[in-house]
Amino acid sequence: MDAETAAQHSRDTHGPWGRDRELATVDRLFDSDSPRAVLLEGEAGIGKSAVWSAGVAEAHRTGHTVLAATGSEAETALSYAGLTDLFENVADQILPRLPEPQREPLEIALLRRAPGATPIGQREVSVAVLGALRLLCGSGRVLIAVDDLQWVDRVTIEALAFAIRRSGTECVRLLAAARLPGGATAWKDTGADRTGLLFSAVAAEARETIRLEPLATPVIDRLLTARLGDPLPRNVLLALVERTAGNPFWSLEVAAALARGGPVDGELPVPESLSAVVASRLASLSIAAREALLAVSALSQPTTDLAVRALEELAGCDAGKAIDEAIEAGVVTESGGRLRPAHPLLGSAALDSLLPGARVALHRRLATVVVDPEQHARHLVLAANNSGPELVAALDAGVRSAKLRGATSAAAELAELAVTHTPPRDPKRAERQVEAAELLFAIGNTRRANDHLVAVYRSDPPPAIRRRALPMLVETTYWVHGVPAAARIVRTEIDNSDDDPYMLATALAMASDVGDGRGGDRTELAERALALFDELGEEPDPRVLSTALLYLALARLDAGDGIQWDLLDRAVRAERRLPSVPLTMRAAYARRIWLKSVDQPVACAAALREVLVEARDLGEEWALSPTYGHLALAECWAGRYAEGLAAADRGFAHGEPGIAKAAVLYGARGLLLVLTGDIAAGRALIAEQLSNEGDGIASVKAIVYRQVLGAAALLDGDAEEAVDLLGTALRLARGEGIHEPGRRQRLEGDLGQALVMTGRLAEATELATEQLSLGGRTDRPTILGVGLRIAGLVSAADGDLATALDQLERAVRAHERSELPLELGRSLLALGQVQRRRRAKPQARQSLRAALEVFQRLGAAPFAEMASAELDRIEPVRGRSGLTRAEQRIVELVASGHSNREIAAELFVSVRTVETHLGSVYRKLAIRSRTELVRRFSTGG
């Protein structure tokens, strides 16, 4: 018998019975060539664990590396208990191979290394789990198998979800079993949030949920006969299946009770609920076995030694004998020195059966046995009838322990419990609330963090606590209640901090972010904050210092002073002292995205690709969408339109449904659509966003959107609309103090051209002068070239073609040094137009052909059409038909079998332009159809 036949024979003989559909689904999990996940759901006792175990056995048989864990109600609050189980058999293999920055946090989480003095972050543990998964995948496929998922500790689930989502490999499979709420009994914690969190890490199309239904009567008959020996009488079997609703665990327990009670006569004595069945089973135990089950059920990860110590403390009985009796009675199992209830229902029911006083006594005694500070604190909480110094001190110790192990979620939960059990007038309460807020903010619970910080401020805390709380109070208020509410807090501190210069400096620094409530200049606010900190000689909160430095650097950039590298470097150094800073709020992120604003789009794109890798590795998916938006705009300005559109598509694919994407993403995609010839689609995309935003649209968004619409209007030939849109955008930008062209979407070139076309030459000259001044002061050829081109267009409109020619030749030379190739093409186009007007046809032809080559290489269809049209005006028409050069080229492509869409792609023009040219060809040749055109062309007509 081969291995596969043997495995099937084992299933047929030992079960799980009646689960062919479920087993076939689990088997497909291992046959697939792509990552998949299967969730087994069902009520308590329905047989999920049996199917799950069969799946684990199949994974072993097919050569998978199996990481398995089984949740326990007592372990739900034990940080990384599930992770310890998962890596128990592979830790020695993978830990030495992990780099130290990953090995240390994983060893601490797995209790293989004592924590250091500095807490590790939960994300560091998650990244280490990701590293471990990747190492294991290097040797083959990996199955992550989790039973009783609803009871696995949350920090383990968060680490697994983080790692699975980013594994970037085809090798990971996930098999989990979780209990549904309701059913045979009601459970306090269904773990639905854990289930959703873990399975959301797998693509929707790659995950499958199977709900286990009750077993049919013949299957129950086979099961009972195999387990208990003689079959039940038919009438008894039918009554049993009806009363137990086909639940295999319930059926086995009832049948076992019947077997212990002897032959059945008359009506079947089946209890009304599964809880009653379990209670009856517990009542049949000896006192010693019952005490052993209680100790094992209440302890997290109980070893035999720990259970013995607990029983000696609890019952004063022969602990070893009690454990043996529980194992013999089938209510406790032992494996590898670890004890567990034989079925989760037994352990939970044993604990639920205790009266309140007995439950308190159990947990108080267990608190003296466990050595882990977190578990000690949790047992004391469960044992507490009231608050007291012992309990709060234990909770503080539990918070420290969880933080040091990187279990931030658990630390936040314990910190909130510490606040709850601290008397309102206790001086330490405010300090504990601030710590709870910091932990809650770290795990993304901004609203709860804000609640605590508001309560702290209302309690009039000591100055040291106010200093610690203010930055996070402003930040959380910003996210929860909006900018005006955050600015009001800052205003209050500015008005009332005369006796505390540090608080005044802190408030000023935060005001440079959210405003001071009175319209104060943010540059001045940041400068005042930094000057005060320097005068005090006191090391400020790094978050506050970084905020002031970043906003001062941004103000200098907006003023046209370029990137202030010294300010950003200082901000980066300050951030290194913070436990964690969201990726898009870091100074290093700012200087990467700002590169495109100072005419370095190629370097910006390369840096942002690094950011995308970092965002995935750090688990900051929400940073992907805006980063792709900045990347799309950088690629656009670098002249790589296909890459830009691909980046924009990826940006729209990321982020939560219903959550608005960043304006830069819409702006970049809209601009790319316009530049590549799909003007209508670009305009529609942006118009929809303006409609959604309404009158309350932020200035920065309005600038981005109006620039795209203005460019579309200009290319569509509506210069008046372009002036209206772009002029409004320019006024908004100047109102915000934004003078850097790269920060106002480089609208100057389009606006200058539109102003000239509508005869507003004075305004165009003013705009050109601004650009020439800024370009000359900063030695920026892109800006200088735009200023020269606008000036050249103005001179040409005034009839001074000699001056225009000089200005446009200088614009071309400037743009030859620029990283923005579209600007070179536009300056060449303008130069060719002036040369044509001066009847310098050879020079005009050379400039226009060079412009056309640039536009075609970029895929800038509307500009390519303009250049082609200009060439048609100076190059002689060929042939008696009177077709232009562009029309002749289209006829050639039609004759060779190209579709209109293929012709548009070949010539870098829009489909609409191809159709327009074909209409002109039909009129000139007096033909009516494409077929007639092909026939005439192929015969030489």
| Helix or strand (DSSP H, E) at 55 | helix 48-61
**pLDDT over 70 (residue 335):** yes
- What is the pLDDT, as a whole number, of residue 9? 40
Q: In the predicted model, is pLDDT for residue 243 greater than 60?
A: yes
Query: Contact at 8 Å (CB) between 729 and 703?
Result: yes
- Cβ neighbours of residue 101 under 8 Å, at least 6 residues apart? 124
Q: pLDDT by residue (tens digit) across 641-655?
A: 999 999 999 999 876
pLDDT, greater one: 115 or 913: 115
Distance between CA atoms of residues 268 and 164, nearest Å: 50
CA distance 346 to 340: 10
ω before 579 within 30° of 0 (cis)?
no
- pLDDT tens column, 506-527: 999 999 888 888 888 888 999 9
- pLDDT given for residue 818 in this prediction: 97
The answer, yes or no, to whether residue 297 has pLDDT greater than 50, is: yes
pLDDT over 60 at 713, yes or no: yes
Residue 648: its pLDDT value, please?
Answer: 96
How is residue 861 written in tokens?
């269809």
CB 574 within 8 A of CB 752: no
Q: What pLDDT, on the 0 to 100 scale, is given for residue 4?
A: 40
3-class DSSP assignment, residue 170: coil
pLDDT category, 274, cuts 50, 70, 90?
Answer: low
Of 25, 324, 328, which Cα lies nearest the Cα of 177?
A: 25
Helix axes 861-874, 900-907, angle to 10 degrees: 80
Please give the Cα distance from 184 to 245 (Å, whole number): 9
More confident residue, 44 or 269: 44
Yes or no: say if 159 and 83 are a contact pair by the CB < 8 Å rule.
yes
Arithmetic mean of pLDDT over the chain: 86
Give the pLDDT mean for 265-272: 49
* The pLDDT value given to residue 281: 75
pLDDT higher than threshold 60 for residue 190: no
Strands (E), 159-299: 172-179, 207-211
Q: Return d(Cα 416, Cα 399) in angstroms, integer.
A: 10
Residues in the chain: 941
* Percent of the chain residues past pLDDT 70, beyond the cut: 90
Q: For residue 181, is pLDDT > 70?
A: no
Instruction: Using the structure block, give the residue that is written with the tokens 């015969």.
Output: 939
* pLDDT value for 246: 84
Distance CA 399, CA 377 (A): 9
Instruction: Decide: 142 and 171 in contact? Cβ < 8 Å.
Output: yes
For range 293-317, the mean pLDDT: 80
Contact 668/593 with Cβ under 8 angstroms?
no
Phi/psi at 722 (nearest 5 deg)? -60, -45
Least confident of 166-175, 572-581, 599-608: 166-175
Q: Tell me the per-residue pLDDT of 866-885, one tens digit each, with 9 for 90 and over.
A: 998 888 888 755 554 677 77
pLDDT in tens, 826-840: 999 999 999 998 999
How many whole angstroms separate alpha carbon 526 and alpha carbon 506? 10
The pLDDT of residue 609 is 96
Q: What pLDDT was estimated at residue 560?
A: 94
pLDDT band at 801; cut points 50, 70, 90: very high
Helix axes 663-675, 641-653, angle to 10 degrees: 140
The mean pLDDT of 39-65, rounded to a whole number, is 89
Confidence at residue 188, expressed as pLDDT on a 0 to 100 scale:
38
Which residues have a Cβ under 8 Å from the Cβ of 458 and sit 6 or more positions away? none
Q: Are 147 and 48 in contact (CB under 8 A)?
A: yes
**pLDDT reading at 564 higher than 60:** yes
Q: What is the mean pLDDT of residues 545-563?
A: 93
Residue (of 195, 207, 204) closest to 161 by Cα position: 195
Sign of CA dihedral 430, 435, 436, 437: positive
Residues 316, 93 contacting (CB under 8 angstroms): no
Rounded CA gap, 937 and 941, in Å? 5
Q: What percent of the chain is predicted at pLDDT more than 90?
A: 44
Pairing mode, if any, of strands 207-211 and 36-42?
Answer: parallel
What confidence score (pLDDT) does residue 10 get? 43
Select the highest-mean-pLDDT range: 54-58, 136-140, 598-602.
Answer: 598-602
Structure tokens at 397: 């110790």
Q: How confident is the model over 749-796, as pLDDT tens digits?
A: 999 999 999 999 999 999 999 999 999 999 999 999 999 999 999 999
The predicted-structure confidence for 460-503, as pLDDT tens digits, reads as follows: 899 889 999 999 999 899 888 888 999 999 999 999 887 889 99
Q: Is the pLDDT of residue 809 over 90?
A: yes
- What are the tens digits of pLDDT across the range 67-108? 999 888 777 778 898 999 999 999 999 999 998 888 999 999
Q: CA-to-CA distance for 803 and 198, rounded, in angstroms?
A: 68
pLDDT of residue 862: 94
802 pLDDT more than 60: yes
Task: Band the pLDDT of 441: cuts 50, 70, 90.
Answer: confident
Residues 6+ apart with CB under 8 A from 55: 23, 26, 29, 38, 143, 145, 175
494-508, 702-716, 906-920: lowest mean pLDDT where? 906-920
Q: Smallest Cα–Cα separation from 340: which of 399, 384, 293?
A: 293
Cα-based angle 614, 620, 622 (whole degrees, multiple of 5) = 125
Dist. CA 266–CA 247, nearest whole Å: 23
Of 71-75, 344-348, 613-617, 702-706, the one with minimum mean pLDDT is: 344-348
Q: Which residues make Cβ contacts (< 8 Å) with residue 142, sequence separation at least 6?
A: 64, 65, 66, 67, 133, 136, 171, 172, 173
DSSP conformational letter for 150: G
- Helix (H) / strand (E) element for 40: namely strand 36-42
Confidence tier at 811 by pLDDT (50, 70, 90): very high
Higher pLDDT, 312 or 431: 431
Average confidence (pLDDT) over 808-829: 98
Cα-flanking dihedrals φ and ψ of residue 341, to 5°? -60, 145
Average pLDDT over residues 308-327: 79
Q: With beta carbons less than 8 A apart as the criterion, state whether 172 and 67 touch.
A: no
User: Which pLDDT value is given to residue 170?
Assistant: 63
Q: Inform me whether the pLDDT recorded for 228 exceeds 70.
A: yes
Q: What DSSP assignment string belongs to 423-477?
A: -TT-THHHHHHHHHHHHHHHTT-HHHHHHHHHHHHHT---HHHHHHHHHHHHHHH
Q: Report H helices in 331-427.
A: 344-352, 356-367, 373-383, 389-404, 408-420
Q: How confident is the model at residue 905 (pLDDT cuts 50, 70, 90)?
A: low
Q: Are 709 and 686 contacting, i.e. CB atoms less than 8 angstroms apart?
A: yes
pLDDT number for residue 184: 35
Side-chain-side CA neighbours of residue 542 (13 Å): 14
pLDDT of residue 658 exceeding 80, the answer is no
Average pLDDT over residues 591-603: 97
Q: 179 pairs with which residues across the strands?
A: 42
Q: How far apart are CA 105 and CA 155, in angstroms?
A: 14
